[in-house]
Structure 1
């Protein structure tokens, strides 16, 4: 369309600027053709430059996006006095450094040689199995078996969130999945956000069926704690979370809230401040209310069962929902085997840093 418009404009200019002549039409036509060829050449050059830039981006090294930290080094703190500035007030890069194909597909591991290559992804509050779509694709392409669970009242579950009365009811789909595993088969559980409390519950119930547990910006409780106990540690310090929450009282205002929803206009700043716009749009039409009763349940975790499962934690350094200071409080209270850090990741690294998250998950599966 641009080239057509350009040729018409040039033709009109020729007609106006050239003196009358029997060769006028031929001259204008020749001039237009040359100009079209020049424009075509310019367009080709622009496409070549864009392709070269894209190729260069694909060759960027991935190692800059992740780092490993052990519990012994937990004394180094990140300041919790200020909340990271929101995406609306600062420039940010949405690029997730890409691994080269051979790095993505194997990363130096034969999945058949692992203790287990079966990974179970457990979403956080308000999310569903849909939020893991990038991780599912990357893991399956690398040869892993992957299951993403919709907890009760989440994702495609038709259950009314406001009717959920306890944590056991909320995590029942995960319990059913683990119960049906063949004898002797183990899985690696990956929990995000409130999904951390859910996989902790599963670790206490089915310790022999879980090889490792990975907490991704997740609630990692000690015995006798509830998720609300953890949240209360930052009471008054996370104004953005308080602004975003709206409680629902399905049983009447004289009873405890049954669930809460997050203001869609604040979702980006709270959960997706480093995530691509298309993923924010997906979340805005897919997220559901969060059941409140499970948040109140205190977990009973034993060393014999829960404590027998190897735990790993992945910190998200640009997290506005569970600030890094709160993540480190949980790590200090119950140190896992290893702690990893995801640079440039918001509360939803499966959106903001899917490749980096994938690399860490594969690395954790390889730890003997």
Structure 2
């Protein structure tokens, strides 16, 4: 097994309505296997921040970490991560987990063909049925507890346009969740085509809760791949 000292650190970035808490199970599995992890909270979750504020939060975390770092972005988190890693020097790879691997000039809303009409300060409420949308294969009691922790998310962050996309210069991998009800597999396919390699798991939108052991093993395997 590779010595933990020579392994990259994993920076875990959550998606919309969520927080760093959602990574706890998968991160625990990774740490038990000798991996160093850090999860951050994005300011757009519960606050009026935009995608560039979130990108600054990601960059701030990276500046405090010794390289190399593998950044794992879930769902909306892919947008600020793509922006952030374009200006980071210690990132060896980005892993998009059912995430928005957007290009410069794109936004989350724009990817779906929706006009960006929301005003700054507005929030997107937690979806009406978050269990069906996010946690379809998570045990019901755990899914209910996760749903209680969701918070309104900044609408501006969905509208903001990326000015840079770091995956053009930083190696990337995409993990496509085949049973995803939040970001359908066909949408993921479009963005996964931008990654250097694509992995598929039969999971809902939240494998960090439904399949933490399997996801941790896959992240470890990706993180140890040569940079290319």
Do both proteins adopt the same fold according to a TM-score greater than 0.5, normalized to the shorter chain? yes
Tell me the equivalent position of 1:120.
11
Equivalent in 210, 227, 237 of residue 91 of structure 2: 210
Deviation at 1:311, TM superposition (A): 0.1
**How many residue pairs align between the two structures?**
224
Cα distance, 1:180 vs structure 2: 2.6
> Partner of 1:223: helix, strand, or coil?
coil
* Superposition deviation, residue 112 in structure 1: 3.2
What does residue 309 of structure 1 align with? 170
Deviations 1:117-175 (Å, cap 9, x if unpaired)? x1100000000000001111001101111100011153xxxxx52x32x3222333322
**Secondary structure of 1:121 counterpart:** strand
* 1:157-236 alignment, distance < 5 Å: 161=47, 163-164=48-49, 166-182=50-66, 185-206=67-88, 208-232=89-113
Task: Please tell me whether the aligned partners of residues 121 and 148 of structure 1 are also in contact (alpha carbons under 8 angstroms).
Answer: yes
CA distance in 1, matches of 2:4, 2:120: 47
Listed as ranges, the gaps of 5+ residues in structure 1 are 1-107, 155-159, 236-248, 250-254
Match of 2:144 in 1: 281
1:241-269 superposed Cα distances (whole Å, 9 cap, x missing partner): xxxxxxxx8xxxxx5671111245x1111
Tell me, yes or no, if structure 1 residue 329 matches structure 2 residue 193. no
1:347 aligns with: 205
Q: Among 169, 189, 197, which residue is 1:338 paired with?
A: 197
Aligned with residue 261 of structure 1, among 110, 115, 125? 125
Larger RCO, structures 1/2 (Cα 8 Å, 6+ apart): 2
Match of 1:294 among 157, 161, 174: 157
Taking structure 1 as the reference length, the TM-score comes to 0.57
Q: Which residue of 2 aligns with 1:356?
A: 214
Q: Distance in 2 between matches of 1:308 and 1:256?
A: 31
2:173–2:196 CA contact under 8 A, matched in 1: yes
Residue 111 (str. 1) matches residue 4 (str. 2): yes
- Is contact 1:152-1:171 (8 Å) kept? no
8 Å CA contact 1:152, 1:172 repeated in 2? no
2:56/2:84 contact within 8 Å kept: no
Q: Aligned equivalents of 2:134 and 2:207: distance in 1? A: 10
Q: Tell me which protein shows more helix as a share of its residues.
A: 1
Q: Provide the C-alpha distance between the structure 2 equivalents of 1:153 and 1:283, rounded to a whole number of angstroms.
A: 18
Larger radius of gyration: 1
- CA deviations on 1:183-225 (whole Å, 9 max, x unpaired) are xx2211000000111210111121x210110000000112211
Distance 1:122 1:256, change over 3 A: closer
Match of 1:105 in 2: none
Contact 2:86-2:169 at 8 Å conserved across structures: no
**Pairwise CA RMSD:** 2.1
Check conservation: 1:342, 1:356, Cα contact below 8 A: no
Q: Which runs of 5+ in 2 are unaligned?
A: none
